[in-house]
Structure 1
């Protein structure tokens, strides 16, 4: 049984334990810091002393978002194989803070700094976040794991599964609350006071949160020195070694020279010696103790992972073209107050923060009698609902953009609040799809690969960012973009995304028929190496 420090810190019967609440608060501050940088980054790159074109700034931000979201997939494998989650959180947070401090310094000295040096602190943030985010989320869920001697009882398993689902919902609520502050407060500070102060506040907040997390280490359930997890890389190596030994441990029959015509008369040579035989038996036994097929687990998830890429591309639009779209509209409130276009991203997080508490109290009870499912709808159905809403959001965005460019100049610019419906629809879609993705990828991998599961979920947005940059390049070649937003044909790009998302949804629905329903996180299939496909 795993040795655990502070067993009294296990999850309570009602609600979340103190360590889980603290982890969620720390994650909220991290999102405040990250969104305080990323939500308005395209404005910083396209204006001021950086001076990129809108398309170049959008590609740069998409590429940076892609690297930031892809790196956790690599780091999570290393964490589950060689490192421990707590140490990874502490060490990666130092790299993260270094990047934020470097970005702040660059903003104060930007007039004397070459443009390419700006990306050094940005990618330090990416590297730091790659270890910080997946480890922190897996570490928080780890606080809810029941003791091994209780897992034999179905009631305890169900309790743990429900608690983890509850944790993921409130985790997302927490990071959205932090994102709301980052999007609204920091974009206003950056646009109206200055970029130096606008970047220094997230850096200071991140430093304080890490200090609080470290100071509370005695509260956490941590794996003791006597506990050694099964390591995915070691499992792959051991399984491969056993397979090779099995091949070479065969009996080889050669025909007898005394009677070459009689095929039955043969001499059998045992090409095995005792030490070799013992090695084979040891490795085979070790590799046969229900070790999951690591490659098989991941491959079973790839079809769903692929169909979510278009959603991830749509996920990039609020921080890129939605912001550019808003900048070309009337964003005055009254005669004097100028609303920063990036602040409208707060509508997404307000939608999430408003709907998230209502999901369990309103949506689940209404859906339960119709579906007969304990949680209202399955995880895959939850993802699918969000995908449909994202398609609707892009259709609305395209329609609003067509109205914007066809509004006569003499009538003035269209109000920025015409963009609210597309932001709100994306916020509601996040409640369904993003939380569903977290549960799906976390619940479909074995316990020893839980950080990898979080990394897989994050990597969807990483590859989606690169795909977004590629689509922007294609649209730019087609002449859909222009430095003058009055001449741009951005609506064509939005309709393209809506069509691609519709195609992905159709394939997603077909694929779901081949996945066994996973009613709770940590189901037996997941513990044995993933659900069946």
Structure 2
């Protein structure tokens, strides 16, 4: 609308002579930008968790397909990103922003229509109220019973039996955060089943509810650790592109690619790494390790962090070379940035997909959408922290009349120093991550599994880490 409605356009004059955008245009522009952010935060975690919920955890083949879901989800996202920073950017540069926005509007409308038409075929999970209430009940019950002693045998703690109605899957007991186990202690007078059934949930919780709270508490250090990684990957869509704008972007004699289009290399790197992992590495790793996932989730995230470190190192070396050539009046070709763009995309294929799996699988079953919101917050908060770090670095390095590392003109900045700083931060963060990963206990569930591939309809229950 800001491109076609005269009163909403940036200026009443021609764009080339427009010095300041009108206030009406600024208001409409920022409303649109925040609506995009609101829509992304609202639909993306829900849609992704809804897609993963279409697979049955108790069916071995569907469970394996579910582990590949996040891989192909990201392939689809990167394919959209590829067309967005190539075709759409080209149309916007050559035919106007209105054309690009109109095509995206039509595409989103078609996507919503396809989603709605599939409603009769989806699997739905019944709503069970707020997922935060049971966690708060465990906390209150544990504080109330803080003076009681936990039994040495965890089987003496309260848990629903198989014959009783249980919402979600039963979780296995862990020995960590034993203080919370007190919420499941059966007090005198509660040994009768009917008495326990009528007991207030703010006084007595099940082992599964206690373990769900433990999962959230154990997830906090991993989330905080991933924020530093979020700072690193934020450079791919910011300073990497800014580097490209200061380089020779001519592909042919009369064809110059837009700076944003260089970001397609990140999408291609992620598509390649995810496809290779799912179709080549994963089957081999399953046979070699006997693990359905091939490798543990945190191991996959760690591999992505290592690749990010290499990407930061290459970025610093390339920027240093670019600065030397700029001082000589020369311009480097933009494809010198290809290694760092590709590497950050390959790393995302391990780390970002791993984070999606982690924040989906390691939260309580009733909090999967919220878990994927935690994943998105890693990227969002990481971007804010990146801006905060840039401001601090610019202020500190510019003290006492010094030459700041980060300026509007890259040729008079030292962006390579900033990349080295990021690399050191990610290395230190990686050391903490390794410690957390080694001591992390994955969620264990009581899972119903069909005997004989369901040929005779008999089922058995087993404990499994996910």
TM over 0.5: yes
State the match for 2:14 in structure 1: none
1:302 paired residue number:
220
Task: Kindly indicate whether the alpha-carbon contact (under 8 Å) linking 1:107 and 1:195 is maintained by their aligned counterparts in 2.
Answer: no
Residue of structure 1 in register with 2:434 after alignment:
509
TM-score by length of 1: 0.66
Query: Equivalent of 1:496, from 418, 421, 434?
Result: 421
The CA distance in 2 between the partners of 1:171 and 1:180, in whole Å, is 14
Q: CA deviation at 1:497?
A: 0.8
Partner of 2:173: none
**Aligned-pair CA distance for 1:397:** 0.7
Find out whether 1:235 has 2:146 as its counterpart. no
RMSD: 3.3
Hey, what does 1:110 align to over in structure 2? Answer: 10
Shift of 1:123: 0.8
C-alpha distance in structure 1 between counterparts of 2:145 and 2:297, whole Å: 40
Q: Which has the higher contact order (CA 8 A, sep 6+)?
A: 1
Q: Does 1:134 align with 2:45?
A: yes
Counterparts of 1:404 and 1:107, CA distance in 2: 44
- Once the 2 structures are TM-superposed, how far is the Cα of residue 170 of structure 1 from its aligned partner? 1.1
In the superposition, relative to structure 1, how do residues 242 and 299 fare at CA in structure 2: closer, same or farther (>3 Å)? Answer: closer
- Taking the aligned partners of 1:459 and 1:396, their CA distance within structure 2 comes to 27
Gaps of 5+ in 1: 1-100, 248-276
Alpha-carbon shift at residue 244 of structure 1 (Å): 7.8
How far apart are 1:290 and its partner, in Å? 3.0
- How many matched pairs? 388
Query: Of 354, 357, 362, which residue of structure 1 is paired with 2:272?
Result: 354
Q: Which runs of structure 2 are paired with 1:324-363 in the superposition (5 Å)?
A: 324-363=242-281
Say if 1:428 and 1:218 are closer, same or farther in 2 by CA, change over 3 A: same
Q: 1:408 to 1:443 in 2, by over 3 A?
A: closer
TM-score normalised by length of structure 2: 0.75
Q: Take 2:105 and 2:118, find their aligned partners in 1: how far apart are those partners?
A: 20
Aligned counterpart in structure 2 of residue 422 of structure 1, from 316, 323, 340: 340
Alpha-carbon distance in 1 for matches of 2:7, 2:287: 55
The 3-state SS of whatever aligns with 1:386 is helix
Q: Sort the Cα spacing of 1:237 and 1:333 in 2 relative to 1 into closer, same or farther, 3 A.
A: closer
Q: C-alpha separation between the residues in 2 aligned to 1:104 and 1:469?
A: 33
Secondary structure at 2:441 match in 1: coil
Q: Counterpart of 1:126 in 2: which secondary structure? A: helix
User: In the alignment, what sits opposite 2:375?
Assistant: 457
Contact 1:238 1:283 in 2 (8 A): yes
Task: Indicate conservation of the 8 Å contact 1:309/1:463, yes or no.
Answer: yes
- Please give the alpha-carbon distance, in whole angstroms, between the structure 2 residues aligned to 1:372 and 1:356: 21
Partner of 1:403: 321
Alignment partners' CA distance in 2, 1:497 and 1:185:
32
CA contact (8 A) 1:105 1:196 kept: no
Q: In the alignment, what sits opposite 1:144?
A: 55
Decide which structure has greater helix share.
Answer: 1
> Take 1:472 and 1:103, find their aligned partners in 2: how far apart are those partners?
33
Cα distance, 1:104–1:531 mapped onto 2, change above 3 Å: farther
* Alignment partners' CA distance in 1, 2:143 and 2:390: 47
| Secondary structure in structure 2 of the residue aligned to 1:333 | strand
Trace 1:20-99 onto structure 2 (pairs within 5 A).
Answer: none
User: Which structure 2 segments of 5+ residues have no match?
Assistant: 12-20, 147-194, 398-403, 448-463
Aligned mate of 1:124, from 10, 18, 35: 35
Contact between 1:168 and 1:439, CA under 8 Å: does it hold in 2? Answer: yes
